[in-house]
């Protein structure tokens, strides 16, 4: 019943936007901790994807974002969104109806980055309505200029630690049968082939696993570049780090994503981080190594739904 109601609701929203029918109501949309799902345990880009989705289906409305009970909050009196972003742009020029059909709730959908058309859609939403804090963009520019500028970069995102093996979706807690955890050795084999044939001079690695970071450093030496400073704090995943400066976790995962998006090709696993990186750079080729091969029926269904 829930699946049917969600499908009908999504189709209604999609049909309205595809026809560019404006809503009569001019009320604002307030996005907060209870907008769609509990905040506990959600990664930073789960929130970002939620915001992008809700803007995309309410594009003609004023949008306000207020997340106060996330794992990234230094205090529930603070709005986590404002650590990294300015308030959502609500000027008349920025408010648009985005034309699409069959767009499902993308913050809960790990396949929504499969279509370049969908990536371009959320690229537009991001550029129209979201503004990253200047101080964060300055850090990205400084790091990129010092370590990556002028290099052909291979992006690698490796989701390690406990998160990588849990892969649970929904209330059942059962593993998703359409994802596997691709082994680290398999990443190395893929990367080695790309280094030979792809003319890459640098590897930019984004990971939450300190053991993985050390293994990459041993194997690739000076070719390897990494930004985050927090990996050595935990072996359970970045969302479970015990630190008093939780806003730094949000800032650094956003910077990792922005740097991934500047690369020429990306290898990654099942995570919202590379998904949003491809929204930022919709033309960047990438391979999701955790995604299992689908049956013909599922493959055709996704081509229809996310074409």
Structure tokens, 54 = 């809700």
User: In terms of Cα–Cα distance, which of 119, 147, 48 is closest to 88?
Assistant: 48
Query: Any residues with CB less than 8 A from the CB of 184 and at least 6 apart, and which?
Result: 158, 212, 215
- Compare 169 and 219 and report the one with higher pLDDT: 219
- Rg, the chain, Cα only: 19
Cα gap 148→255, rounded to integer Å: 14
Model's pTM, two decimal places? 0.84
Give 171 or 285, the one with higher predicted confidence. Answer: 285
pLDDT of residue 144: 97
Q: Where in the chain is the domain with CATH 3.40.50.11350?
A: 134-305
Q: Per this entry, what is the length of the chain?
A: 307
Q: Residue 27's pLDDT is what?
A: 80
Q: What percentage of residues in the chain have a pLDDT greater than 90? A: 46
22 φ/ψ angles, rounded to the nearest 5 degrees: -80, 145
Q: Which alpha helices (H) appear in the chain, and where do they start and end? A: 2-18, 44-57, 81-84, 116-129, 134-147, 161-166, 184-197, 210-220, 246-260, 272-280, 296-305
For residue 130, count other CB atoms closer than 10 A to its CB.
21
Q: Say what the pLDDT of residue 168 is.
A: 42
Summarize the confidence of residues 244-267 as an average pLDDT. 92
Per-residue pLDDT of 182-235, as tens digits, reads 889 999 999 999 998 888 999 999 998 888 899 999 999 999 999 976 655 554
Supply 92's token pair: 């008349």
Phi/psi class of residue 104: alpha, beta or left (left: φ > 0; alpha: ψ in -120 to 50)?
beta
Structural contact between residues 274 and 259, judged by C-beta atoms closer than 8 angstroms: no
CB of 181 within 8 A of CB of 271?
no
The yes-or-no verdict on residue 171 having pLDDT over 60 is no
> What is the predicted pLDDT for the residue at 169?
45
DSSP tag of 113: T
CA distance readout (Å), 98 to 7, 148, 151:
19, 34, 35
**Residue 205 to residue 15: CA distance in whole angstroms:** 40
- Residue 124: which of 153, 163, 103, 98 has the closest Cα? 98
The dotted CATH code for 134-305 is: 3.40.50.11350
Query: In this structure, are residues 72 and 80 in contact, taking their beta carbons and an 8 Å threshold?
Result: yes
């Amino acid at each position: 019943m829930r699946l049917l109601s969600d499908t009908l609701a999504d189709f209604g929203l999609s049909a309205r936007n595809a026809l560019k029918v404006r809503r009569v109501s001019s009320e604002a949309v307030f996005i907060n901790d209870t907008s769609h799902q509990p905040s506990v345990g959600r990664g930073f880009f789960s929130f970002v994807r939620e915001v992008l989705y809700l803007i995309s289906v309410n594009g003609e409305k004023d949008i306000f974002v207020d997340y106060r009970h996330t794992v990234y909050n230094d205090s529930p009196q603070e709005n986590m969104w404002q650590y990294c972003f300015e308030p959502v742009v609500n000027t008349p020029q920025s408010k648009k109806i985005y034309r699409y059909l069959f767009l499902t709730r993308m913050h809960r959908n790990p396949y929504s980055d499969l279509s370049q058309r969908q990536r371009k859609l959320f690229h537009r939403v991001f550029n129209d309505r979201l503004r990253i804090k200047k101080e964060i963009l300055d850090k990205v520019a400084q790091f990129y200029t010092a370590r990556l500028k002028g290099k052909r970069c291979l992006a690698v995102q490796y989701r390690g630690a406990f998160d990588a093996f849990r892969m649970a979706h929904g209330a059942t807690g059962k593993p998703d049968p359409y994802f596997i955890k691709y082994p680290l050795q398999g990443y190395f084999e893929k990367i080695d082939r790309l280094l030979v044939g792809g003319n890459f001079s640098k590897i930019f690695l984004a990971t939450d696993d300190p053991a993985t970071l050390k293994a990459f450093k041993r194997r690739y030496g000076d070719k390897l570049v990494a930004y985050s400073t927090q990996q050595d704090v935990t072996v359970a995943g970045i969302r479970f780090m015990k630190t008093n400066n939780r806003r730094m976790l949000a800032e650094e995962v956003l910077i990792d994503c922005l740097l991934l998006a500047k690369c020429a090709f990306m290898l990654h696993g099942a995570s919202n981080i590379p998904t949003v990186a491809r929204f930022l750079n919709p033309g960047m080729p990438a391979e999701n190594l955790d995604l299992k091969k689908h049956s013909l029926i599922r493959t055709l269904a996704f081509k229809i739904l996310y074409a």
